[in-house]
Amino acid sequence: MAVDLELVRRIADAAEEADGAAPLDEATWLALRNRPDSVRSWVRDEGVALLVGEDLTLVVHPSARGRGLGTELAAAAVPPTGPVEAWSHGDHPAAARLAERHGLARARELWVMRRPSSVPLPDLPVREGVTVRGYEPSDAEAVVAVNAAAFAAHPEQGAMDLANLHERMAEPWFDPAGLLVAVDSTSGELLGFHWTKQHSPTLGEVYVVGISPAAQGRGLGKLLTLAGLHHLVGKGVDEVLLYVESGNAPAIAVYGGLGFEHAASDTHVQYRRSSPR
């Protein structure tokens, strides 16, 4: 039976309003909309559990919390053995308790960093031999290749292929002008990219910044990040956010230098069970 997307949206929207963070990530929504057969689901009127491969999502409507519904959904959806991963979009004690009960350990922390657009941006620096421009359809394969190389150790982002790229580009928020690429001015080789996202008229995101390993050390990460920020501020957003691994000190330093700040409550936690119970 197909999942009732309107019901899932209603529950997710209510949870986001109560918690300040969206409980379903983009990959789960893409799977629900484009590959529904890949999603196992346990749906109640006030809660839902979704399993896509090893990735578990569980959401309970705020009005139904504290009644055991989360426990019931987890008991049904968490496989009794084998690997499974789940994100707590916000460091919620209830999520930690559920995870421990099912043998999932705290594995990763993802920081949300935010920057108000009222803070002035530095001017864009000039990089000799590098041109920054908007995405063109002929860039697709190069973007996928640079992304795979840049995120070879990243379990989610590094897996993006052409089909997934086109899925993301089919989303309502996609704007080709907001996917900025840095190319070698002589050869035209794509060196890196910054994909921005505009969630609403007031909120933008540093969605993905990927630099080819062969082009590392040339300051392209900061250049592209800054170019994307200028783009988003030019669109009129009041705030820009980004997600970064809590242990990625070099990236945090770059983002901090551009005016991004992190609050402890703005932390997403991944729980993981890697081996059979």
Residue 128 in marked binding region: no
For residue 58, say whether it is annotated as part of any ligand binding site: yes
255 is in an annotated binding site: no
31-75: pLDDT as tens digits: 999 999 999 999 999 999 999 999 999 999 999 999 999 999 999
**Shared-domain flag, residues 229 and 160:** yes
Do residues 79 and 126 both lie within one domain? no
Residue 192 marked as a ligand binder: no
In a domain, 13, yes or no: yes
Domain presence at residue 247 = no
Based on the fold, state whether residues 93 and 30 are members of the same structural domain: yes
Same domain, 91 and 166: no
In a domain, 233, yes or no: yes
Torsion angle of C-alpha atoms 216, 230, 235, 26, degrees rounded to 10: 30
Q: Is 48 annotated as a binding residue?
A: no
Q: CATH number of the domain that 75 lies in?
A: 3.40.630.30
Domain of 150 in residue numbering reads as 119-237
Annotated ligand binding at 209? The verdict is yes
252 is in an annotated binding site: no
As a whole number of angstroms, the distance between CA 99 and CA 214 comes to 40
Q: Confirm or deny that 221 is annotated as ligand binding.
A: yes
205 appears as a binding residue in the annotation: yes
When pLDDT is averaged across residues 199-218 and rounded to a whole number, the result is 94
**47-50: long-range contacts, CB 8 A cutoff, minimum separation 24:** 47/11, 47/73, 48/3, 48/7, 48/8, 48/11, 48/73, 49/73, 49/74, 49/76, 49/77, 50/3, 50/8, 50/24, 50/77
Q: Is 228 annotated as a binding residue?
A: no
**32 and 105 belong to one structural domain:** yes
Q: What is the DSSP string of 180-221?
A: EEEEETTT--EEEEEEEEE-SSSEEEEEEEEE-GGGTTSSHH
Residues 177 and 68 in one domain: no
217 is in an annotated binding site: yes
219 labeled binding residue: yes
Q: How many CB atoms lie within 10 A of CB 6?
A: 8
Give me the pLDDT at residue 102, please: 92
Burial bucket for residue 225 (CB in 10 Å: 0-12, 13-18, 19+): buried
Query: Are 131 and 79 contained in the same domain?
Result: no
Does 257 count as an annotated binding residue?
Answer: no
Q: Provide mean pLDDT across the span 84-111.
A: 91
| pLDDT tens profile 226-270 | 999 999 999 999 999 999 999 999 889 989 999 999 998 899 999
Residues 196 and 103 both lie in one domain: no
Q: Which distant-in-sequence residues (6+ apart) come within 8 Å of 229 by Cβ? A: 115, 121, 206, 240, 258
Rounded to 5°, the CA angle 165-116-146 comes to: 25
Span 142-165, mean pLDDT?
88
Is 243 within a domain?
no
For residue 93, name the pLDDT band (cuts at 50, 70, 90).
confident
Is residue 68 in some structural domain?
A: yes
As given in the structure block, the two tokens for residue 47 are 């809660």
Is 184 among the domain residues? Answer: yes
16 shares its domain with 47: yes
Q: Using the CB atoms, write b or e for 111-149: b if 16+ within 10 Å.
A: bbbebebeeeeeeeeebeebebeebeeebeebbbebbbe
* Residue 15 clears pLDDT 80, i.e. is over it: yes
Do residues 94 and 196 both lie within one domain?
no
Q: What is the model's pLDDT at position 1? A: 61
- Helix H segments across the chain? 5-19, 26-34, 69-77, 93-101, 140-150, 162-169, 220-234, 249-257
Same domain, 127 and 228: yes
Is 240 annotated as a binding-site member? no
Count of structural domains within the chain:
2
Same domain, 9 and 35: yes
Per-residue pLDDT at 155: 67
From CA 21, how far away is CA 147, in angstroms rounded?
A: 26
Q: Within 13 Å and on the Cβ side, how many CA atoms surround 237? A: 21
- CA-nearest of 175, 193, 202, 26 to 114 is 202
